Amino acid sequence: MKIYITLDYEIYFGANHGTVEKCILYPTSELIRIAESTGTRFVFFVDIGFILKLDEFRKKFPQLEKDYEAIVEQVKYLGDTGHDVQLHIHPHWEDSYYNGTCWIIDVKRYKLADFDDEQVSSIVRRYKKGLEDITGKATFAFRAGGWCLQPFSKLEKIFRELGIRVDSSVFRNGYFASEQYSYDFRNAPDKDIYRFERDVILEKKDGYFTEVPISPIRNSPLFFWKLFLLGRKDPYMHKPLGDGQAMPAPGYRKKLLTKFTNNPVSVDGYNSQLLQKALNRLQREKRGHMVVIGHPKALSRHSLNKLEEFIKENKEQHQFSTFAKTFPA
């Protein structure tokens, strides 16, 4: 099996967005350490909209200079050392700004679909170029901010024009709708890889785009009770390394604690506990691709240990890979 450890590289978007050091730089340096010690490489989906905003505002606010330079240096390092650096678009940066003290994050237009066609095309074009200017490498893979990439028909044309040909935003049976979020993967194909064209959850043989979905997992409410309780009992091991708060998702936490829910296989926090179980199931189902999602900001000391253990345990039998290796130009 090919296993992809994919990380959405970003700060928080809630009331407290956290610091670049704790949400991004430090946890990513830990990931780099694990990659080096295990001889593996990961896929980083970089929130380039944030970096472009840093670049814009650092001229007026010199205190941002340090954040900007450190992030650019780290992203470039990731690209130079064989990690995949790919496109993660959070278009709400278009409406957000720095006020001299903190980022004022406006999520009224959270999804690309909240913008008109011309704006979508301009955002995707600028963001892709911005990222490629940092790494000097072509990007071709995409993960939507908050998994919101529907309706894909709004993205199809510009993605095709720019050669963005691989997506990894779908997780089967995932579904959530709120004022900001909207994704519905309940009818996604029961596959670990498929082609598509206008609709990201509709398989089309010979379609231009390839979907490599994030591997799905079904969690019991008990699991999340354990997760939240451990965070209280042993914060040193179980609290996220990032120092911010997530954007509100009304009803989401309650749903996790009261119902069985469909989630992506994740290395974030206590979710990392289930990596081996998820891999065993995918093997029984004879799948060829396992995609694990994570966020540097949401990793904990426990999850970093679990990730390292998971890689060491499985790297002989399986192939930890990147999209650049699996989908060469």
Task: Specify the 3-state DSSP secondary structure of 283.
Answer: helix
Closest listed residue to residue 71, CA positions, set 102, 7, 15, 28: 28
How many residues form the binding site for Zn ion (CB under 5 A)? 3
* Site map (CB under 5 A) of Zn ion, residues 7-46, x = contact: -x-x------------------------------------
Spatial CB neighbours of 181, under 8 Å, sequence gap ≥ 6: 110, 111, 146, 147, 148, 249
Pick 8 or 308: Cβ nearer Zn ion: 8
The binder of Zn ion chosen from 145, 244, 264, 296 (CB under 5 A): 145
Q: Which stretch binds Zn ion (CB under 5 A): 3-11, 57-65, 67-75, 123-131?
A: 3-11
Smallest gap from residue 139 Cβ to Zn ion (A): 16
Q: Which stretch binds Zn ion (CB under 5 A): 1-9, 21-29, 103-111, 211-219?
A: 1-9
Smallest gap from residue 51 Cβ to Zn ion (A): 13
Pick 79 or 296: Cβ nearer Zn ion: 296
Pick 240 or 311: Cβ nearer Zn ion: 240
Pick 35 or 87: Cβ nearer Zn ion: 87
Smallest gap from residue 321 Cβ to Zn ion (A): 22
User: What tokens does 93 get?
Assistant: 């940066």
Which of the 8 DSSP states describes residue 32? H
Closest listed residue to residue 305, CA positions, set 267, 277, 265: 267
Task: Specify the 3-state DSSP secondary structure of 190.
Answer: coil
Q: Which stretch binds Zn ion (CB under 5 A): 134-142, 145-153, 169-177, 200-208?
A: 145-153
Pick 10 or 67: Cβ nearer Zn ion: 10
DSSP 66-121: HHHHHHHHHHHHHHHTT-EEEEEE-GGGGG-EE-SSSEE---SS-SGGGS-HHHHH
Smallest gap from residue 36 Cβ to Zn ion (A): 25
**CA 70, 167, 173 angle in degrees (round to 5)?**
115
Pick 264 or 311: Cβ nearer Zn ion: 264
Any alpha helices (H) in 136-239, and if so which ranges?
156-162, 221-233, 235-238
Pick 130 or 189: Cβ nearer Zn ion: 130
**Residue 268 near Zn ion by CB under 5 A:** no
Smallest gap from residue 147 Cβ to Zn ion (A): 9
Across 211-232, b (16+ Cβ under 10 Å) vs e yields bbbbbbbebeeebbeebeebbe
Peptide bond into 151 cis (omega under 30): yes
Smallest gap from residue 182 Cβ to Zn ion (A): 15
How far is CA 146 from each of CA 10, 49, 149, 218, rounded to the nearest angstrom? 12, 14, 9, 19
Smallest gap from residue 197 Cβ to Zn ion (A): 25
The footprint of Zn ion (CB under 5 A) covers 8, 10, 145
